[in-house]
Structure 1
Amino acid sequence: MNRGDTSSPTHDGKGRTRPLLSWVVGISTLLEWSGRLVAAVCLAFMFCALLVNVILRYAFGSGIAWAYEIHALLLPWLVAGGIVIAAARGRNISITLMPDMLSPNSRRLLLLAVNVTIVVISLSVLESSWPILKASKFQALSTLGIKQIWGYSSLVYAFIGMAIIALVDIIRALAGEDIHDAGPERASLS
């Protein structure tokens, strides 16, 4: 067996691992982990702030004022982290009836078109959100004094993440991989 002929774990032991595809899939995996980290930190911090606030309110009759505002910053980041995780796993809301009925080549063309559309929409949202981001530099939360840009910048993270993941899927599809995994563990139950 030659050095490059090792079986690919992403292909269930079939074929060789392609270095470029391994690197590209690694980008998607890295984005998924960043989404997990963002979501976990936001959720943990919001839960702790809310818990401490409730305990203080019941124990001393008054809580911490900023506990009500922190959610305005962290909730958008929690949602953005979830969006990136769902996009990386291919578990965002989708209707798979048409791809399931197509041949592999037709399905690949359809999924290429869908991913190109995702890239175009993501970049369009980013471009159109610049006025909002610029305006949010001048808006501050009343108690914390933190600028709103920190919450709105989650838009940039979410849509850049989606665009990069769609580009990864485009590269994988052009390389001949079937990016539409119709296995029962990935099927939507909705």
Structure 2
Amino acid sequence: MTTPSRPIRTLRGLAEAVPAILLATMFLCFIIQVFMRYVMNSPVGWTVEICVIAWLWILLWGQSVSAEESDEIRFDIVYGSARPAVRRWFRVAFSVVLVGIYAWSLPALWDFVTFMKIQKTSYLDIRFNWVYSIALVFSVVSILRYAWIFWGALSGRDTGQSSIEDIGRKDFSE
């Protein structure tokens, strides 16, 4: 396995920083909300709004941009006990299904996100198409990711973890 170039490492670091920054923002908003509610006796709603938006972005950004396939949690009793050739075909079939589902739903998701420009959030007046735009990023990146997994499995150069035994042998010193 080759080491990625410096610009790639920098971009990956920036991509991984987004969920961390959003989580820190959520924590700060939570502290502000507790302080305002219980110390000042004057609750504010914008903190809850920021927390909900940040959580949505953490989940979808983190899964699509930051997380690698080896980070995903799986129940792989059947997959892990299968022969490598069978696992490869599982990956091909699974990738085809996921790319198909995401590609099929992409036009409807686009319509929904663009339609939501008519509404704004209650406190911060952020248009909902900006809030939900991360769903488009999630779908497009998921299509690209599973197309790459499909190509890797089809060409015989699997990516990611092969089985539960491989996880046990993985060097965690990096």
TM-score after normalising by structure 1? 0.71
In the alignment, what sits opposite 1:181?
162
In the alignment, what sits opposite 1:146?
126
Match of 1:164 among 138, 141, 144: 144
**Alpha carbons 2:118, 2:127 under 8 Å: kept:** yes
Secondary structure at the aligned position of 1:94 is classed as coil
| 1:98-118 C-alpha deviation (Å, 9 max, x unpaired) | 333433223212211111211
Higher mean alpha-carbon deviation, 120-129 vs 85-94, is at 85-94
**Alpha carbons 1:32, 1:88 under 8 Å: kept:** no
Within-5 A mapping of 1:106-117: 106-117=86-97
Q: Distance in 2 between matches of 1:154 and 1:143?
A: 20
Within-5 A mapping of 1:121-132: 121-132=101-112
Structure 1 or 2, whichever has the larger Rg, is 1
Quote the offset at 1:139 in angstroms.
Answer: 0.7
Query: Which residue identity is paired with 1:177?
Result: R
For structure 1, which runs of at least 5 residues remain unmatched after alignment? 1-7, 11-21
In the alignment, what sits opposite 2:46?
66
Match of 1:83 among 44, 63, 67: 63
Q: How many percent of aligned residue pairs carry the same amino acid? A: 25
For structure 2, which runs of at least 5 residues remain unmatched after alignment? 170-174
Number of residue pairs the alignment of both structures matches: 165
* Shift in CA distance, 62/176, structure 1 to aligned 2, threshold 3 Å: same
Query: Which residue identity is paired with 1:170?
Result: F
Q: Distance in 2 between matches of 1:90 and 1:162?
A: 15
Match of 2:24 among 41, 44, 51: 44
